[in-house]
């Protein structure tokens, strides 16, 4: 009890006495803990907005796109199918708005609500003559809203509403599950810049050309929605269906595409966590090394009054472990608060992501990793301090510098500032190595962040920047 009090007291007081250094240590471990906490918390939260959208829009279990003919009797009669909507005509058209040229899948819809896939109007109203409804994430990317005008294959339409659907991925992921890219290539547009609009059936039909004939979309409801992937596989594997040209997607695939960016974020965060953990270890080792040198007299005194090497090590380690614990707690809270920023549902979905899963495993992993990082980084310095001769520690005598003939000979030819710098650096090769590692990891992280930023931009906008920036 007495020893525990002593260890805590000495650790606590030293943290307070060296507040700036302690804050730096806290920052380094805290950053790694936050990233890890974020990566772990993101797991499994991305499906919630899609599911809310699916419920609100009576989302289909299977979407069949690119049907070449409205005749889809074999699909409607397939075992397990309990309902459907469509087939709806879809024309692929060039859409121009605000000086931007993209490709639109123009889906013809009745004005009456469909039994399956009823896009939820988030602004304005549903389709009517000369009026189009633009899928919300597509509208956001184009920068258009209700009242604006767009052209489809040269015909002008008024935007009468924006809506969301669970039957197709949000922009610019629409073509992730396959779509017709011929028109896009011919028009010099990236097929990834393809979005979804709804208009009346008559107007959708009128947009078809010989080069881009109408296709059809059919929405199916299954007896067992969870078995949708198996239904698709079973249907496609039937030899009798080989002549039916269609692109079938279970709702789970659409959900996964909608969560793609978050999943990428999770991967990046996990990689980032590793890098940050390495950075934390290297920075901690440098900081702890310097700090231990300052603590030499303290170590000597503890030993002189009867502290065993184990007690001395406990006192020194307690400080770093306490900081690691505080950093882990901070990281967990920060991670939890930051998770919604990364799991925002996006304009193509409604609802909010589920609560970040701050499970006991996440807490244990973050705490254990923080403690391990602190332990790894400070163990060598601590053992060295605990084993130092008491007299040497008390007198706080500086360690003799290592003289390396090669360094001396080489540096002799350098200008004096460089000569001194090189020789000073060579005195502490371990610290030099760790500092170099810290810088290397930091640069790696910066490059990784920039690369991810570019990749995310490509994925999100199908190009190097958003549509509105072009």
Q: Which residues bind another protein (CB under 8 A)?
A: 1-3, 5-6, 9-10, 13-14, 16-17, 297-298, 300-301, 303-311, 387, 389-391, 394
Q: How far is the CB of 315 from another protein (least distance, A)?
A: 10
Asked if residues 37 and 336 have their Cβ atoms less than 8 Å apart, the reply is yes
Q: How far is the CB of 381 from another protein (least distance, A)?
A: 18
Which pair of structure tokens corresponds to residue 329? 């707690």
Where does residue 444 rank: exposed (0-12), middle (13-18), buried (19+ CB within 10 A)?
middle
Which of 391, 418 has the CB closer to another protein? Answer: 391
Q: How far is the CB of 294 from another protein (least distance, A)?
A: 11
Q: How far is the CB of 2 from another protein (least distance, A)?
A: 4
Q: How far is the CB of 12 from another protein (least distance, A)?
A: 9
Find, among 389, 396, 390, the residue nearest to 302 by Cα.
390
3-state SS class at 121? strand
Q: How far is the CB of 10 from another protein (least distance, A)?
A: 7
Residue 406 CA to its chain's centroid (Å): 48
Which pair of structure tokens corresponds to residue 71? 């005749």
Which of 298, 423 has the CB closer to another protein? Answer: 298
Asked if residues 177 and 247 have their Cβ atoms less than 8 Å apart, the reply is yes
> Distance of CA 190 to CAs 55, 90, 94, 172, 461, Å?
32, 19, 12, 11, 10
Which of 223, 392 has the CB closer to another protein? Answer: 392
Query: CB count, 10 Å around CB of 77?
Result: 8
Q: How far is the CB of 320 from another protein (least distance, A)?
A: 16
Which of 14, 107 has the CB closer to another protein? Answer: 14
Find, among 91, 90, 196, the residue nearest to 134 by Cα.
196
* Angle value at C-alpha 90, between 89 and 96, nearest 5 degrees: 140
Which of 2, 99 has the CB closer to another protein? Answer: 2
Which of 311, 448 has the CB closer to another protein? Answer: 311
Which of 400, 409 has the CB closer to another protein? Answer: 400
């Amino acid at each position: 009890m007495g020893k525990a009090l002593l260890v805590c007291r000495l650790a606590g007081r030293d943290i307070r006495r060296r507040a700036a250094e302690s804050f730096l240590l806290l920052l380094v471990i805290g950053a790694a803990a936050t990233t890890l906490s974020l990566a772990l918390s993101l797991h499994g939260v991305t499906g919630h907005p899609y599911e809310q959208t699916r419920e609100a829009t009576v989302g289909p279990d299977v979407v069949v796109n690119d049907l070449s003919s409205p005749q889809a009797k074999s699909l409607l009669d397939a075992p397990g199918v309990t309902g459907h909507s469509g087939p709806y005509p879809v024309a692929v058209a060039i859409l121009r708005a605000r000086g931007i040229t993209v490709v639109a899948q123009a889906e013809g819809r009745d004005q009456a609500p469909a039994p399956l896939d009823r896009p939820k109007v988030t602004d304005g109203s549903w389709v009517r003559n000369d009026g189009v409804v633009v899928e919300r994430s597509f509208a956001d990317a184009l920068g258009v809203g209700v009242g604006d005008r767009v052209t489809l294959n040269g015909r002008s339409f008024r935007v009468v509403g924006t809506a969301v659907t669970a039957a197709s991925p949000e922009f610019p992921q629409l073509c992730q599950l396959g779509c017709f890219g011929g028109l896009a290539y011919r028009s010099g547009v990236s097929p990834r810049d393809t979005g979804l609009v709804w208009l009346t059936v008559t107007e959708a039909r009128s947009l078809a050309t010989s080069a881009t004939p109408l296709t059809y979309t059919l929405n199916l409801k299954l007896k067992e929605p969870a078995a949708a992937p198996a239904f698709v596989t079973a249907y496609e594997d039937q030899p009798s269906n080989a002549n039916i040209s269609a692109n079938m997607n279970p709702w789970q695939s659409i959900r996964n595409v909608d969560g793609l960016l978050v999943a990428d974020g999770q991967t990046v965060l996990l990689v980032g966590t590793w890098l940050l953990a390495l950075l934390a270890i290297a920075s901690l080792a440098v900081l702890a090394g310097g700090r231990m040198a300052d603590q030499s007299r303290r170590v000597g005194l503890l030993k002189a009054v009867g502290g065993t090497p184990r007690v001395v090590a406990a006192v020194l380690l307690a400080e770093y472990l306490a900081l690691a614990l505080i950093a882990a707690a901070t990281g967990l809270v920060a991670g939890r608060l930051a998770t919604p920023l990364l799991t925002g549902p996006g304009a193509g979905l409604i609802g909010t992501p589920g609560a970040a899963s701050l499970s006991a495993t996440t807490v244990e992993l973050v705490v254990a990793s923080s403690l391990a990082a602190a332990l790894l980084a400070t163990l060598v310095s601590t053992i060295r301090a605990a084993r130092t001769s008491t007299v040497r520690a008390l007198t706080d005598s500086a360690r003799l510098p290592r003289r390396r003939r090669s360094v001396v000979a080489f540096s002799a030819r350098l200008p004096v500032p460089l000569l001194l710098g090189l020789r000073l650096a060579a005195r502490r090769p371990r610290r030099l190595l760790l500092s170099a590692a810290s810088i290397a990891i930091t640069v790696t992280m910066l490059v990784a962040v920039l690369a991810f930023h570019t990749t995310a931009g490509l994925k999100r906008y199908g190009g190097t920047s958003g549509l509105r920036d072009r």
